[in-house]
Chain A
Amino acid sequence: MTPEELKDLQVDKTVDARGTACPGPLLEAKKAMGTIDPGQVMEVLSSDEGTKKDLPKWCTKKGHDFMGIVEEPGYFKVFMKKG
């Protein structure tokens, strides 16, 4: 999906992990993933640069669909669909 498409996407869950550094965003993503159903979309807000690489890899390993990243001022959003 393009960043424009992602921006308009209706998400089922938002996780704000901006207050944490590694491994915080990963742990919060994992926790929140347990609360949604397969097919539902989640966005993780983070300002920890490592998260941009970590979460896509985590999605692949855990069978979730990594959809893309949208940059925002001072942070970014990682979109994923539960597998």
Chain B
Amino acid sequence: MDIEKKIKELESQIAELKESTKDKLSIVVFSGDLDKLLAAMIIATGATAYDMEVDLFFTFWGLSALRDAKKKVKGKNFISKMFGIMLPKGSKKVKLSKMNMAGIGTAMLKSLMKKKNVASLDEMFKTAGELGVRINVCEMSMDLMGIKREEIIDYPYLNYVGVGSYLSDAQESKIQLFI
């Protein structure tokens, strides 16, 4: 009797464990550097080949990559305007974290990427959208940096969230990364 009870208990615990982690990947994209953004996007798109659900959380400097260079926003205050000028305007403008050398390093890397058939960051966002990768944008850092929703790229799976959403997703993810 006792053993049967124990088995039942174990079975329910295993079922709980199975439900607690899904085949899901959560990445906090904190960096606004080209190299780190590339790494994040390659892992994110690659994970879809493993049928994983993918949630990206863009926060702080990472927001630069989500700015749409073609979109203009009015009504910003002075500090927000300054931030807007200082921050790279979109995935085509972000720079390398090392060896940028006033833009020469970044330009060299981009031409190498083209030569070696590595997709550009811009193309990777497009692919990610086709593959159902979700992009969650940190509302608080948008507010801090004065970035408005009207200047964010058009992306099919875009959400504006807070830390709670990240934690809920990360809790049930088998892989969690901070880039």
Contact = CB atoms under 8 A, between A and B. Distances in A.
Interface of A: 19-24, 26-27, 29-30, 58, 61-62
B42 A29 contact: no
B118 A27 contact: no
A20 B119 contact: yes
Contact of B49 (A19, A20, A30): A30
23 contacts: A19-B117, A20-B119, A21-B117, A21-B119, A22-B42, A22-B118, A23-B42, A23-B45, A23-B46, A23-B49, A24-B117, A24-B119, A26-B46, A27-B45, A27-B48, A27-B49, A27-B127, A27-B131, A29-B49, A30-B48, A30-B49, A58-B49, A58-B50
Nearest to B46: A23
Interface of B: 42, 45-46, 48-51, 116-119, 127, 131
Contacts of B49: 23, 26-27, 29-30, 58
Contacts of A23: 42, 45-46, 49
B117 to A, nearest CB: 5
Contacts, number: 32
A33 to B, nearest CB: 9
What does DSSP make chain B's interface, helix, strand, loop or mixed? loop
Name the residue among A19, A23, A29 with the largest chain B CB count within 10 angstroms. Answer: A23
A20 B159 CA distance: 30
B99 to A, nearest CB: 20
Contact of B46 (A19, A20, A27, A62): A27
The 7 closest A-B pairs by CB, nearest first: A23-B46, A30-B49, A21-B118, A26-B49, A21-B117, A23-B42, A20-B117
A55 to B, nearest CB: 10
A28 B48 CA distance: 11
Nearest to A27: B49
A49 to B, nearest CB: 11
